[in-house]
Amino acid sequence: DAGVIQSPRHEVTEMGQEVTLRCKPISGHDYLFWYRQTMMRGLELLIYFNNNVPIDDSGMPEDRFSAKMPNASFSTLKIQPSEPRDSAVYFCASRRGAGNTIYFGEGSWLTVV
């Protein structure tokens, strides 16, 4: 089975540009999570969805960040405008409903210069 698929794997962009990160969860998983990893703050949950509906977005840093899940097989995390402090690894993860395991993608490595 394919795991959680994220794109792009690496992105370097200039400050002020819009960044869109994409995620395809594991087929049949109805929960989708976006995490951010930095040296300073470790792994932080940004937002998560259940059946395409956001359940908890309290970790979204500010209005520059937005996430959508238009259907069960696709989600985006958008940063507009991007800033150097947004440089991090962004992980998408998914889980099947009442199951107990969250599976992570390989991450999107973002550098904002």
Partner 1 sequence: GEDVEQSLFLSVREGDSSVINCTYTDSSSTYLYWYKQEPGAGLQLLTYIFSNMDMKQDQRLTVLLNKKDKHLSLRIADTQTGDSAIYFCAESISQATDSWGKLQFGAGTQVVVTP
By CB under 8 A, name the binding residues for partner 1.
31, 33, 42-43, 45, 48, 50, 55-56, 91, 93, 95, 97-107
Q: How far is 56 from 58, CA to CA, in rounded Å?
A: 6
Cβ distance to partner 1 smaller for residue 19 or 46: 46
Residue 40 contacts residue 85 (beta carbons within 8 Å) = no
Cβ distance to partner 1 smaller for residue 65 or 91: 91
Give the pairing of strands 88-95 and 108-112.
Answer: antiparallel
Nearest approach in angstroms of CB 99 to partner 1 is 8
Nearest approach in angstroms of CB 100 to partner 1 is 5
Rounded to 5 degrees, φ, ψ at 86 are -85, -5
Tokens of 74: 């696709």
Amino acid present at 70: P
Nearest approach in angstroms of CB 108 to partner 1 is 10
Cβ distance to partner 1 smaller for residue 12 or 43: 43
